[in-house]
């Protein structure tokens, strides 16, 4: 009897932290094939490579937790990148000729404001027009991408050093972009664990009818969720522009929304709403990063990488569904 109890305790530990087990197994497997994978240098490369998608994942996590989805984050990132880049161009041939060169902070805030506006629109459509989030954000995805191309036909480049610092700079030994990701993660975790808003998102995602009866303003909560989501996307866009020293209307942030949704999902954020652990989301982001980076290190071609990613997404959700189905 005792050993059975111990066994079930152990299996519970594994099933509760299965995502970290998968991560460790992946790291070991890739390291066996290529020793260079498990090195400090590569770890830095992996983290800086995933930081932008990480920040965007923290956003869409909240939308999924509220039993919604946000498909617009990639386009919002692009719109924010273009607007902030245009404000902080250092070149002689500016997109907005005659505009004085702004300090980096203006560009950053400008991009984020754009994000908040789109987020408010998304949230308002979901909460008050009762549109399905998939449809509402599909609409804004198309609109934002089109706006990017209307604003500028080609890339906006040659940005001020201050602005570029955000994407490429270092504070001591740490990359600015990674620091931003860590700060955003702390904010997300704090929000979910320690604020009324965060707890309300769990409640609304878990049972919106019960949330209403318990006195939660479901509509306000949803609007804030989508504003947070687009805020993260816009910040991601600013980081992208700073990192690549340009913003391209056609390619910046393209399909990032899918990567963000995938990372959140692999991290155990359930599409049925109401389930999310911040630590799981970090694991999800790292898993996607390890696959991206590791497959390159192993010399596997691109298409193989996609196949592995696809299998991991399907597998992790199937695993989650079974775990939760048994409990229901």
Partner 1 sequence: MADEYILEMHGICKYFPGVKALDGVELQVRPGTVHTLMGENGAGKSTLMKCLIGMQPVTAGTIIHKGKEVHFKSVQDSIHAGITMIQQELSPVLERTVADNLWLGREPMKNKFMCDNKALYTEAEALFKKLNLEVDVYAKMKDLTVAKQQMVEIAKAVSHDSNIVIMDEPTSALTDAEVEDLFRIIADLKAKNVAIIYISHKMDEIFRISDDITVFRDGTYVGTDRAANLNNEKLIEMMVGRKITNMFPKIPCPIGDVMFKVENLNSGKQVKNVSFEVRKGEILGFAGLVGAGRTETMETIFGMRKKDSGRIWLNGKELNIKSPRDAIDNKIGLLTEDRRGNGIFGLLSITDNTTVANWGAYGMPMNNKQMLKDTEEYNTKLRTKTPTWETRIMNLSGGNQQKVLLARWLLTKPDLLIVDEPTRGIDVGAKSEIHELLSKLAGEGKAIIVISSEMPEVMGISDRIVVMHEGEMTGVLNRDEFSQELLMRYATGGSAVEELKKQQGSLES
Footprint of partner 1 on this chain (CB under 8 A)? Answer: 190, 193-196, 199-200, 202-203, 206-207, 209-217, 274-275, 327-328
Closer Cβ to partner 1, 38 or 202, answer by number:
202
Provide the β-strand partners of residue 174: 171
What DSSP assignment string belongs to 213-228? HTT--HHHHHHHHHHH
CB of 194 to partner 1, least distance (A): 4
Residue placing its CB nearer to partner 1 in the complex, 171 or 187: 187
Q: How far is the CB of 166 from partner 1 (least distance, A)?
A: 28
Nearer to partner 1 by C-beta: 168 or 207?
A: 207
Find how far residue 63's CA is from the centre of its chain.
11
CA distance 252 to 242: 12
What per-residue string of b and e applies to 43-77 under the rule 16 or more CB within 10 Å gives b? eeebbbbbbbbbbbbbbbbbbbbbbbbbbbbbbbb
- CB 193 to partner 1: min, Å: 8
By beta-carbon proximity to partner 1, the closer residue of 39 and 195 is 195
Shortest Cβ 40–partner 1 spacing (Å): 34
Whole-angstrom distance, CA of residue 302 vs CA of residue 135: 30
Nearest distance, CB of residue 197 and partner 1, angstroms = 9
User: Which lies closer to partner 1 via its Cβ, residue 170 or residue 220?
Assistant: 220
Q: How far is the CB of 218 from partner 1 (least distance, A)?
A: 10
Per DSSP, the residues of 9-76 read HHHHHHHHSHHHHHHHHHHHHHHHH-GGGSSHHHHHHHHHHHHHHHHHHHHHHHHHHTT---S-HHHH
Closer of 95 and 203 to partner 1 (Cβ): 203
CA angle centred on 120, ends 259 and 268, rounded to 5°: 35
């Amino acid at each position: 009897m005792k050993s059975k109890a111990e066994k079930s305790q152990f299996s519970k530990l594994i099933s509760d932290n299965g995502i970290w087990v998968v991560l460790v197994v992946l790291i070991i497997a890739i390291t066996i094939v290529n020793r260079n994978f498990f090195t400090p240098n590569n770890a830095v490369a992996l983290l800086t490579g995933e930081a932008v998608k990480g920040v965007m994942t923290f956003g869409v996590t909240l939308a999924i937790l509220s039993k919604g989805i946000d498909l617009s984050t990639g386009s919002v990132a692009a719109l924010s990148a273009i607007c902030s880049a245009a404000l902080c161009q250092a070149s002689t041939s500016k997109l907005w000729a005659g505009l004085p060169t702004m300090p980096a902070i203006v560009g950053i805030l400008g991009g984020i404001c754009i994000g908040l506006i789109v987020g408010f629109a998304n949230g308002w459509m979901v909460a008050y027009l009762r549109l399905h989030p998939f449809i509402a954000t599909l609409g804004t995805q198309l609109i934002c991408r089109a706006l990017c191309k209307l604003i500028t036909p080609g890339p906006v480049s040659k940005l001020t050093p201050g602005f570029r610092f955000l994407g490429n700079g270092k504070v001591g030994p740490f990359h600015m972009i990674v620091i931003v990701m860590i700060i955003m993660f702390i904010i997300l975790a704090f929000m979910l664990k320690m604020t009324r808003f965060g707890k309300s998102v769990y409640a609304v995602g878990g049972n919106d009818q019960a949330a209403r009866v318990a006195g939660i303003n479901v509509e306000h909560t949803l609007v804030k969720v989508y504003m947070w989501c687009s805020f993260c996307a816009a910040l991601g866009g600013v980081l992208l522009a700073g990192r690549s020293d340009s913003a391209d209307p056609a390619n910046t942030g393209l399909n990032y929304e899918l990567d963000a949704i995938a990372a959140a999902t692999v991290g155990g954020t359930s599409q049925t709403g109401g389930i999310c652990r911040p630590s799981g989301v970090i694991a999800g982001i790292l898993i996607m990063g390890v696959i991206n980076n590791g497959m390159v290190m192993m010399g596997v071609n691109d298409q193989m990488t996609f196949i592995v990613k696809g299998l991991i997404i399907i597998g992790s959700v199937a695993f989650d569904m079974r775990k939760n189905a048994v409990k229901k």
